[in-house]
Amino acid sequence: MATFRTKRGRCVLTDEELRVESGLYLQARRYWEGNKVLLGGYLGLYGALAVAAVRTLRAGDWRAVAVGALAVTTLLVAGRAVNRRHGVGSADRIPLYDVESVAAVEGDDWLTRPRFVVRYWRNGGVKERYVMMPSGLLSYADEEFERAKSAFRERGIPVETVE
């Protein structure tokens, strides 16, 4: 059994399946392991937003509350739509015999995240499942990306590197 860290948790490769385990706690743990300053920045931002929301509610500025709620809802819906399009969160267990190929996308430290695009057979067609890797801003990102490529190859799954 081989495992490697992902953005939101870890991926487990057994002899039979690829399993993606994720959660908010696991994502925070990844930032703690790789870049405590970045984690502190995220927590500080979320704390500041929570304080601003409470102050706005206490002040009774309902227009600002409505605009904020609309902005948060829009961002959540857009994020879910992008994740759904990329297959993030779907097919957390994929039998290895269904995997057709894996594309390794290296990404960029600041703009795009490294990821694997797993193409697999499901319901008579080929589906894609994105496995998002830790940000290039984390200390272990490059090592984990290489470890993941090796793990796929050891299981006999072809990995094509895409720039």
Q: What share of residues in the chain are helix, strand, coil (percent, to 5)?
A: 45, 30, 25
In this predicted model, what pLDDT tens digit does every residue of 67-100 receive, in sequence order? 988 998 999 899 888 877 766 665 689 999 999 9
pLDDT of 148 strictly over 90: yes
The answer to whether 44 and 51 have CB atoms below 8 angstroms apart is no
Per-residue tokens: 56? 């706005």
Hunting for tokens 């600041």 — which residue is that? 110
pLDDT at residue 8 in the model: 81
pLDDT of 24 strictly over 70: yes
Q: Go through the chain and tell me how many residues it has.
A: 163
Residues 116, 158, 96, CA angle at the centre, nearest 5°? 80
Q: Which residue has the higher pLDDT, 10 or 109?
A: 10
Range among 24-33, 40-49, 131-140 rated most confident:
40-49
- Alpha helices for the chain (secondary structure H): 24-34, 36-59, 62-85, 141-154
| Boundaries of every domain in the chain | 2-59+78-162
- Please state, in angstroms and rounded to a whole number, the distance separating the CA atoms of residues 128 and 34: 28
